[in-house]
Structure formats: C-alpha cells, structure tokens
Structure 1
C-alpha cells in the first residue's frame, strides 16, 4: 500500500508493496519488484532495471533476471539505480546517484554513500559503511562492519589482456569482518583483507593484509598492529 506517490511514477506489473511506502517524482519500478514496509524511494530512482550487455562484455547473456527485492525500512536516494536480482536488506540507506548492479546482496543497516558503484555479483555484509564515490568491483565480497572510505578503488583484472584467455582470470577482492580501507586506496585483484585489517589512505594493496594488521604505502607494507582499542571486538 502506497502512503505517498509523486508525479510521473511508472510502476510495472506485479510489483508488491508493503505498508507506508513513500515514492517521489519520476520514479520507475520494474515488473515484479518487491518492496517492504516503510521504504522511502526518492525522486528519479530506478528499481529493478534489467541489465543491458555490451557486445564485447564478458558477462553471460542472461535474458531475464529475477526481480529486485527491497527490504523494510530502506531509503533509496535521488537518481539511484538498483538493478534486477539485487537484494537490499532491512534498514539499508542508499544515497543519491548510487548504482547497485545485478546479483548484489546488501546486508541490514549498511550505509551506501553518494555516487557509490557496486558492480555485479557482489556480497556486502551488515552494518558496513561505503563512503562517497568508492568503487566495489564485480565478484567482490565484503563481510560485516566493513568501512570503505571515499574514492577507494577495488579491481578484478590483473592482466588488461585483449584475448579470450583473460575471461577466467577475473577475481574480485575480499574484505573480511571489520576490515577498513582509507581514502583513495587501491586494492588489486583477488587480494584479501583479513578481519580488522586496515589499509591507510592512498595505499596500493598488492598482497593480502593480515588479521588486525595496519598496512601503509605503495606497495602497502605492514606498519604495525591495529591498536587494541580499535578492534571490532572491543567496540
């Protein structure tokens, strides 16, 4: 049941709404999307969009993905785009201009900042904070309570190759529970930041980051242990 609906809203067939849903102006919600209770969708947002595939894309050509699922208490900002087959958990906040691609799951109470891009086939845990304009590359996995500062770049292609042999070498990054990445850091493909591992601002991570270790530099090297009082288990 819609509580408020703005002007020029387009709602596809078989969209399911919980109670107290508020929709702004010029919103598009595609067929079959499920929207929980007390969801706010602000102006110009697009929910449940089917992906389009470039001719040169390595992604499989999927004709029709399942609908998007938006959990209760979610806020979706102005001009955000959430693709089909995305699942957004309870009380997630998605800021303006964010893109959440297909086959992405986002856990409860996570904050996704302005202009963040989460590419296809990613898992983001609960209570994470992804700040303005950070980039989460395809096939990545973030645990719970992960912090990613503004303009962080994660990557999944080590080869920049031009032949088909590169297609089976893509690998996203893994950030385990409590991992933290400082502003403008770059994480190279397949690297793992272990529990409470911390990457200083501007660092380039070319090897795995150990549990409770702070790394700094280009390439990033171990500086010291993360202070005891800063560990996730002590919060």
Structure 2
C-alpha cells in the first residue's frame, strides 16, 4: 500500500502527474493517465482506464471495466456503471447515474441528476437533461421543481440530440440525429423519434409510436400507442398565433388516438381529435375531429372512405 494513501495500491498504474486524494479508493488493476485529478472519496473500480486530464470529483464512482477518454469530467456523487465507454471531452454532472454497458460519444454533456438505464448509446455532441429557459413571451410556464430526466434501459440517442429535464422515457427508445424533446413529456417504450423531430413540452407519446424525420410535435399533445407519423408533419396548438391573453386558456395540441396514421406533410390544427385507426393522407389539412377508421384527404381534409379492415391493428 502507498503509505501516503492507504486506499491506493502501489501496483496501480498511475501517472506521476496524476493528482489523487488520500481518501480516494482506486483498484490496483486500474490505469490513470497523466494530469488526472481524483478528488476526495471517489471510487475507481477494477480494470478502469482514465484518459489524459480526467477529473473525478468528490464521491463519484466509476464501475469496473469502464473506459473514459481524454478530459472527461465526472461530477460530485455521480455514478458510472460497469463496462461503460465514455469518449473524449464528455461532462457528466453531479449525482447523475449512468447504467452499465453504456456508450457515450465525444463532446456530450449529461446534466446533473440525470438517470440513464443500462445498455444505452449516446452519439456525439448531445445534451442530455438540460434545464429549459423560455422566452418572456412564451406560453411555457417556468417550474423550479422540474425533476431530472429519466430514461429506461436499451435506449439509442443519435448525434446532436437535445433532451430537456423533467421528461421520462420507456425502454428501448430511439432518438435520431438532431432530435429535440422538451420538458415534462412522457415517452413510452419502443418509441421512435426520427432525425430532426421536435417534440415540445407537456406532450405524451404512447408505446411503439413512430415519428419520422422532420416532424414538429407541438406542446400539450397526447399521442397514443402505435401511432404512425410520417415525415414533415406539422401540428399546432394556438389558434390566436401569439395574440391576446385568451390564448393561454385555449392552447392545446391535437389528440391522436391509438393506431392512427398521419401522412407526410399533413397539418393538424389546434385541439382536434384524430380518432383510432384514422388514415390522414399526405398533405392533408385536418381542421376538425375525425371519425374512427376513416380516410381523410384534401386541403382541407374531407372524409373519403373507410380504412380497409386488413390494415387495422391486431
């Protein structure tokens, strides 16, 4: 044992330029590269590799077999599970929890208290769990008690994705490159949110729903399970378009019921209800509530027949 640090084995592979607190607990099988800083009561498990310039703050815990790239910062009390791979220039905020077998790409930020499940993947340049900051004229109400982002296991998050705090995600969620999901949303299991999709605040998306590239999901929407939304769909929630105080009372996005399908480039006006198994054709403008299992086409959309029975969900 090192006489200056009883928690540090002399057989540990530690650079002479690393700065290690006497109260840090570091496995003898781990490797610390040059200029690493390990603060008080941090724990480094077996076979961990820390790249150049990593900072492990007070009370942080790095699970066995995890590899950190260069200049990774792990905040106070944060935990990284076993067998994770964290690329260069990643920041993990205080009290965050990263599940085992997770991969995080370079230049990504995990904000404080974020809870990420096991077997996850996050691409480069993403921002996970950030706090919102609304414009003074926004309809979004600031809530100081916003809880941290929570994501269940098996997720895939692409590059340059921005996910805000206060939202929960079910298992095996997929978020494509450049997607954005705002605060206080509920995302069900196996949901696919495609590249460039924007999901605004206070929206619910049911399990197995697919939202394809470039669609805009406005605030205060309710999308049920197994809905299909094609590329470039636009949804709206404000008939006053930012004018008068009355808009705050009536603001509401569409409700899309189970099994409905919305074609590419369609537009849904505020507050309408899309019935179960509705088929909205590409480019349609939906201005009023729909009937169950009907096909809507046109601008504005009109009822043009029944959905074939063999296309219904089982």
**TM range, smaller chain:** over 0.9
Identify the residue that residue 77 of structure 1 maps to in structure 2.
158
TM-score, structure 2 as length reference: 0.73
Task: Quote the Cα distance in structure 1 between the aligned partners of 2:169 and 2:157.
Answer: 10
Report Cα offsets for 1:110-146 as digits up to 9, x if no partner: 1110000000000000111100000111000111100
Q: Contact between 1:180 and 1:196, CA under 8 Å: does it hold in 2? A: yes
**Whole-angstrom CA distance in 1 between matches of 2:133 and 2:242:** 23
Question: Which residue does 1:33 correspond to in 2?
Answer: 114
Match of 1:208 among 277, 289, 297: 289
Q: For the Cα contact (< 8 Å) 1:50–1:64, is it kept in 2?
A: no
- SS in structure 1 opposite 2:246? helix
Counterpart Cα distance in 2 of 1:222 and 1:195: 15
Residue 173 of structure 1 pairs with residue 254 of structure 2: yes
Higher RCO structure (Cα 8 Å, ≥6 apart): 1
Residue from 267, 285, 308 that aligns with 1:186: 267
Q: Contact between 1:15 and 1:30, CA under 8 Å: does it hold in 2?
A: yes
The 2-side partners of 1:177 and 1:193 are apart by: 9
CA distance in 1, matches of 2:259, 2:88: 42
Instruction: Provide the C-alpha distance between the structure 2 equivalents of 1:11 and 1:164, rounded to a whole number of angstroms.
Output: 41
In 2, Cα distance between equivalents of 1:170 and 1:58: 9
The offset of 1:100, in angstroms, is: 0.4
| C-alpha separation in 1, matches of 2:218 and 2:175 | 17
* 1:81-133 CA distance string (max 9 Å, x none): 11001111100110000000000111111111000000000000011110000
Q: Which stretches in structure 2 are left out of the alignment for 5+ residues?
A: 1-80
Q: 2 CA distance for matches of 1:164 and 1:227?
A: 44
Between structure 1 and structure 2, the one with the greater Rg is 2
What number of residue pairs does the alignment pair up?
233
Given that residues 82 and 99 in structure 1 are in contact (C-alpha distance below 8 angstroms), is that contact kept between their aligned partners in structure 2? yes
Partners of 2:94 and 2:242 lie apart in 1 by 42
Cα displacement (A) at 1:55? 1.3
Task: Choose the corresponding residue for 1:131, options 208, 212, 233.
Answer: 212
